[in-house]
Structure 1
Amino acid sequence: MTAPTSTKPAPARNRWSRLVWLVPAAILVLAAVVLAAKGLRELPAVQSFLTAYPGESELPHGAPVGFPAWLGWQHFLNSLLILLIIRSGWQVRTTTRPPAYFTRNNTGPIKTRGKPAKISLHLWFHLSLDALWVLNGAVFYVLLFATGQWMRIVPTNWDVFPHAASAALQYASLNWPVENGWANYNSLQVLAYFTTVFIAAPLAIITGLRMSGAWPKDAGRLNRAYPIELARAIHLPVMFYFTAFIIVHITLVLATGALRNLNHMYAARDDTGWAGFAIFAASLAVMTAAWILAKPIFLRPIASLTGKVTR
């Protein structure tokens, strides 16, 4: 007589267990990249290329040196807002049962069949953060061009590309480019900052606007030319880009002279003192507090100031 087989389903596998394999795989890939880069640097042709293109393209005449104070607080505000935007955006995408819903008090542009639309509390928070981020970005653009700081992050010569390739090879071989960010970024940084400020940010805005309830539903030609499916296909990869940029940015800031870099970013000074680190630590405390407070129990009273919040 055979023992009865159990019909009880196998316990569900932890959805995060597969990510465990990503850690050793990432280490192997990074080790292979470093070894390959070190090997390439031994080749005479590559050495000649690095000599001809050390990694830094010349700035236009009249480009400013150093960082103004406004860039420090702009950097903090952008960091705070983008952190919460990424978090709330991921919650909008992955939460199947929102903790609450929000309905506007007035009959503004967000409507469904003539009535104010009911949206999740996560989406309300995401859209509110987006509005603040766009406002802060507008101020950033104005100051960027008014002070000439745009010349530091906008490529003005085609040699930025071979210089960027040189800088990438130097980073990959763990032999950091010799640079002075106070006076000039290396070309790889220039391309990264240009992409973030002038490509990724506008893409995030126009795709997010297309998916929002503020987009006109009856604009037939416009909607056919710019379908919502296209916006959705772009919006998520842009979020992944921002996440990757932040991780790489923080890693390199800390690995290539943390105190000097933090002074550049937060204290508007070019030395190795602790002022920038102190401001950075304070900003981390604020961002941590904002992350903790960005919960339904704290968001409901704020949202209720402009609309009705329901369970």
Structure 2
Amino acid sequence: MLPAPLSEPQIRTGTAAAAPAAAAKVAPDAAATAPAAKTSAAPAKAPPAKAPAAAPAAAATSAAAASDAQPGLRPTTRRQWALAGILVALAVIGLTTIVVGLARWIAGLEPIAAFIAQYPGTYELPEGAPIGLPAWLNWSHFFNLLLIALIIRSGLQVRGERKPPAYFTSKRTGQKVSITVWLHTSLDVLWIVNGLVFVVLLFATGQWMRIVPTSWEVFPHAISAGLQYATLNWPLEDGWVNYNSLQQLAYFVTVFIAAPLAIVTGARMSGWWPKGADRLNRAYPIEWARAVHFPTMLYFSAFIIVHVLLVFTTGALRNLNHMFAAKPDDDWLGFLFFAGAMLVVAAAMVAARPALLSPIASRFGTVSAR
């Protein structure tokens, strides 16, 4: 194995250190051949060594130069964060203004206006489709809200975790993971159970016709609805009877595409995946699962943001009654239920700490500090 090449400072240090050793080796030979008179002469005084004293100064100068050359290493100040936030807000406002202006210009063109008139954004549901939202759907929506919020939070904690606060060892498999991973996996199981109940009841009660497209007209209607949203002249809708086509496609993708993707990729990355299954691992590499799982989480986050925004800007009291009180009225009951639900979510966020999770996790395995 060849030694690593020396840098210039190392070469200089090595040369300076080798000089006294070489002089010491040559001195005995010279003393043996020199006349006696010269050997009795007093030794010359060595000059004071000033080089080591200059080294710290040179190092300090180099460090200062490196710091000036790499300003990105300096911590960001509050003023810089505030300025960045203002710039981002101005950019969002400017971009929104451009998009709205462009969308209104496009919608004002005669062919596009005729297209919107022909496809206003909603097509008729099949005969026999249910009207209204049942109470079981409200409860499922609440549990989904609670679980998905905790799943996203714990997933981000797992992604950025360096030193886990505690560890969990499973009684069933003996696998040791951080307690944050255990929490994330446990929430996933509850979320899957809630989803299975939702899907079964969805098809058992006919509610599937509200979120599963039943006509190819869903696509032109969805384009029309999207254009109307972009102009801020939003399409007329009555979610108690029928969603517009863009909403229907969004719900369909969320329930039947994004959710299964999250489950399949999460299972591949979890400790439940069979060990030693070489052929299965080659057919479904964990790198694929990691490449899909995080973007799926980003999709859910974006869906939630847009969903909440539209709920509060298209008739908040009516929409909250649909989602939390199973009624089409415009009173405040749904809002009160929503406020209570958000308090429960906030309390769950605070409670999801190792000190409170350990007693629960201990029922399924061993919790340790290391």
Q: Which residue of 2 aligns with 1:66?
A: 132
Q: Which residue of 2 aligns with 1:277?
A: 335
Q: Pick from 249, 253, 257 the counterpart of residue 191 of structure 1.
A: 249
Between the aligned partners of 2:269 and 2:77, the Cα distance in structure 1 is 32
1:27: how far off? 2.2
Superposition pairs for residues 208-287 of structure 1, below 5 Å? Answer: 208-287=266-345
Q: Pick from 36, 43, 48 the counterpart of residue 109 of structure 2.
A: 43
Between the aligned partners of 2:320 and 2:121, the Cα distance in structure 1 is 22
Q: Pick from 79, 82, 107 the counterpart of residue 172 of structure 2.
A: 107
Residue 11 (str. 1) matches residue 74 (str. 2)? yes
- Number of equivalenced pairs: 301
Alignment-mate amino acid for residue 118 of structure 1: K
SS in 1 for 2:63: coil
1:6: how far off? 7.7
Query: Is the deviation greater in 223-232 or in 257-266?
Result: 223-232
Deviations 1:8-63 (A, max 9, x none): 54533369949634333222222211111111111111100000000002211111
Between the aligned partners of 1:229 and 1:11, the Cα distance in structure 2 is 34
Between the aligned partners of 1:19 and 1:266, the Cα distance in structure 2 is 38
Percent identity at matched positions?
Answer: 59
Q: Looking at both structures, which has the greater relative contact order when contacts are Cα pairs under 8 Å and sequence separation is at least 6?
A: 1
Between the aligned partners of 2:180 and 2:94, the Cα distance in structure 1 is 38
The RMSD of aligned alpha carbons is 1.9
Q: Pick from 151, 172, 182 the counterpart of residue 240 of structure 2.
A: 182
Q: Say if 1:39 and 1:90 are closer, same or farther in 2 by CA, change over 3 A.
A: same
Query: Is the deviation greater in 181-190 or in 288-297?
Result: 288-297
- Runs of at least 5 residues in structure 1 that lack an aligned partner in the other structure: 109-115
SS in 2 for 1:7: helix
Between the aligned partners of 1:194 and 1:168, the Cα distance in structure 2 is 16
SS in 1 for 2:347: helix
Superposition pairs for residues 300-311 of structure 1, below 5 Å? Answer: 300-311=358-369
Q: Which residue of 2 aligns with 1:112?
A: none
Q: Which residue of 1 aligns with 2:143?
A: 77
1:7: how far off? 2.9
Q: Which residue of 2 aligns with 1:164?
A: 222
Residue 31 (str. 1) matches residue 97 (str. 2)? yes
1:225: how far off? 1.5
TM-score of the pair, normalised by structure 2? 0.78
Residue 125 (str. 1) matches residue 147 (str. 2)? no
- Runs of at least 5 residues in structure 2 that lack an aligned partner in the other structure: 1-59, 68-72
Between the aligned partners of 1:212 and 1:261, the Cα distance in structure 2 is 37
Between the aligned partners of 1:179 and 1:131, the Cα distance in structure 2 is 35
Alignment-mate amino acid for residue 129 of structure 2: A
Between the aligned partners of 1:19 and 1:132, the Cα distance in structure 2 is 39
TM-score of the pair, normalised by structure 1? 0.92
Q: Which residue of 2 aligns with 1:111?
A: none
Query: Is the deviation greater in 58-67 or in 4-13?
Result: 4-13
